[in-house]
Amino acid sequence: MVKVIASQIRKGNVVELDDKLHVVLSAENFHPGKGTPTTQIDMRRIADGTKVSVRYKTTEQVERAFIDERPYTYLYEDEQGFAFMNMESYEQISVPKDVVGDQAAYLAENMECHVGVYNDVPVSIELPARVVLEVVETEPAMKGQTATSSYKPAVLSNGVRTNVPPFVTTGTRIVVMTADGSYVERAKD
């Protein structure tokens, strides 16, 4: 454990609060025009999964635990969670569904992810920033519509809904951000 100031805490970090370990789900810094800057941290207790929200002054000290983060390859999903394998040691771990959360929609077989482990317990997961998916449903482009900033709704092969430019049609493979599902570009394959 090491003490760091609250404004340095990021998503995926593990912190100690009330002698219990918590994994950070989100950390946001607020700098009001008047008053003291604060950091709002949303966390999940590792022991039982309880969610906690705490606000600190940005200069307050927080106990941070360091986790072992390694590359793992995604294998499959079962009742216990998501199975990953370390490609160096061939050791398999099961990451609980609440650790993966909404990112589960972007998991694909053989995808390399970084899994954070603390005392042999998976506490965080980081997917690649971008993935290639196919558009399975979208509206046809309207005549006269320009490609400036008009977007249309689309459903991707993983079931996620996003907005795409008018030139994208059903069957087109596109690159999307795993953080928010936003369109980046047409896939180059």
Model pLDDT, residue 71: 92
Instruction: Give the CA diameter of the chain.
Output: 62
Model pLDDT, residue 76: 92
* 118 and 146 inside one domain: no
* 61 and 79 inside one domain: no
Place of tokens 């216990």: 80
Please list the ranges in the chain whose pLDDT falls under 50: none
The answer to whether 173 and 187 have CB atoms below 8 angstroms apart is yes
Query: DSSP letters of 98-128?
Result: HHHGGGGGG--TT-EEEEEEETTEEEEEE--
Number of domain units in the chain: 3
Model pLDDT, residue 82: 92
Domain ends where: 78, 107, 126? Answer: 126
Rounded distance, CA 28 to CA 32, Å?
Answer: 13
Query: DSSP letters of 83-97?
Result: EEE-TTT--EEEE-H
Domain assignment of residue 32, given as a range: 2-65
CATH number for the domain spanning 120: value is 2.40.50.140
pLDDT in tens, 28-74: 888 888 888 999 999 888 878 788 899 998 888 888 887 888 899 99
Model pLDDT, residue 36: 87
Domain ends where: 86, 110, 126? Answer: 126
Model pLDDT, residue 146: 57
The answer to whether 17 and 1 have CB atoms below 8 angstroms apart is no
Model pLDDT, residue 173: 92
Rounded distance, CA 12 to CA 142, Å?
Answer: 43
